[in-house]
Amino acid sequence: MASSRSDAEVAELIGADWLIYQDLADLIAACEHDHSSIKEFDTSCFSGNYVTGDVTPEYLARLESERSDSAKATRREGDRGGLKVVKS
C-alpha cells in the first residue's frame, strides 16, 4: 500500500491523521521474550537480507517479470493446459 506513495497519501488512504512507522530493531524487540528458544528472526521481507544468501536483485527482477500480470496473460493465451475446446 505504501509503495510509491508519500506518508500523507498513505494516511489519507487508510483514514489516519498521521503515521508512525516501527523500525526493524523495535519490531524484533517486540517479538522477543526472555523464555524463548527463538534466537533470530527472518526479517528478509523487510530488510532484503535473505538467510539463504542467494537472493540477488537479478533473481528478484526475474521473479517479478515471470509473475507479472502480462506474463500470466501470455501464459494463459499460449497454454490452455493441453485441453481442447470443443463447441457443440
Per-residue model confidence as pLDDT tens digits over 65-75: 988 888 888 87
Q: How confident is the model at residue 82 (pLDDT cuts 50, 70, 90)?
A: low
Tally of domains within the chain: 1
Domain extent for 11: 7-69
The answer to whether position 49 is within a domain reads yes
Measured CA angle at 40 (ends 61, 60), to 5 deg = 5
Mean pLDDT of 39-55: 84
The answer to whether position 61 is within a domain reads yes
The answer to whether position 83 is within a domain reads no
Measured CA angle at 63 (ends 61, 47), to 5 deg = 65
The answer to whether position 12 is within a domain reads yes
The answer to whether position 79 is within a domain reads no
The answer to whether position 86 is within a domain reads no
* CA dihedral of residues 10, 12, 16, 20 (deg, nearest 10): 30
The answer to whether position 1 is within a domain reads no
